[in-house]
Amino acid sequence: MMHVPRNNDIDLHDPRNNRAHVPKTTKKAKIVAKWIRKNENVCHVAQIALKANSSNFWYLDSGCSRHMTGNKSFFETLVMEEGGYVTFGDGSKKKVVGKGSISVPGLPSLSDALFVDGLKANLISISHLSDEGYSVLFSKNDCSILKPDGQTLLKGMRSSDNCYCLEARIVSNNVSMDEQVELWHERLGHMNFRDLRTLGKFECVRGLPKLGKKANGICGPCQQGKQTKSMHKKGKYLSTKEPLELLHMDLMGPMQTESLGGKRYILFVLMISLDLHGHIFLEKNPKLLISLKCFVLNCKMK
């Protein structure tokens, strides 16, 4: 007996009525245009990446043509002079107010470094290092500065802002005014403080800064050198009765320059009883007694 399906019956054996073959009807998604602002990519350079104005970190920069810094305390010798302007990648300009050499622990010797007014970064020129014979090697975590013979001079690190830098180790960044005045006073042969300030004021000496007044204005060695000593009273009678009984001697040396005979010491001998004096040249201090005996024996024979 054949079963005749009714209108509301579905023949499951008919492939057309199988759910796997029945196409699904999906609703058409509604497209809505939405604008999303794109963040700009910022490339950090050493001048922007620094977090502190006064830092001991020096950044190795391949785009920098000269060594430069805005910290005056780094310079060993500094000549204040106008040297034009320095233009940075962002178009800003800084004025060059001086040039000198830098030699501090943790850094290579930097010559002809620029002192740039208002610069908050310390930059080392890789091209300038190459001109001086150094080589710079970069790796993932650090960098190395090599001598011309290939030995490692210094090693730097890669900072959190993806810059390679070196740290300068300064024992004392700031020197008190009194110590600075006293230092230059001794360097210039204990010159009086008034003339010393005049030299700094009119820039008569290269590298000499403008100095202020010393707190007490007194130098101990200068005061001792200017003191006079009263003479000893001259004796009326001689305490010696025989020649060569009393000798006054003074040993001087060792001399920095050796004589033609290889001598470095001089012994002065004064004989008051005979009103005579002489000198003996010595090679070494231990030969003093032997030379003195020979000198006395020679005087007795004469």
Which tens digit of pLDDT belongs to each residue from 115-125? 988 888 888 88
Find the mean pLDDT for residues 71-86: 85
State pTM to two decimals: 0.40
The architecture in CATH of the region 46-167 reads: Beta Barrel (2.40)
Tens digits of residue pLDDT in 22-48: 555 555 555 555 555 544 443 334 444
- Domain ranges for the chain, please list them: 46-167, 177-226, 248-301
| DSSP line for 162-203 | S-EEEE---S-S---HHHHHHHHHHHTTS--HHHHHHHHHTT
| pLDDT value at residue 23 | 52
Q: What is the pLDDT of residue 87?
A: 79
249-279, pLDDT tens digit by residue? Answer: 888 888 888 888 888 888 888 877 666 777 7
* Nearest CA-CA partner of 124 in 163, 85, 72: 163
Mean pLDDT on 225-253:
76
Q: Where is average pLDDT lowest: 47-51, 66-70, 131-135, 153-157? A: 47-51
CA atoms of 54 and 72, how far apart (whole Å)? 11
Query: Three-class SS of residue 269?
Result: strand
| Alpha-carbon torsion angle 229, 231, 233, 239, nearest 10 | 100
Contact in structure between 165 and 124 (CB atoms under 8 Å) = no
Residue 95 has pLDDT above 60, yes or no: yes
Averaged pLDDT for residues 156-165: 84
pLDDT at residue number 37 = 53
Rounded to whole angstroms, the Cα distance separating 116 from 123 reads 11
Length of the chain: 302
Cα separation, 47 vs 64, in Å, equals 11
Highest mean pLDDT among 30-34, 207-211, 240-244: 207-211
- The percentage of residues in the chain with a pLDDT greater than 70, rounded to a whole number, is 72
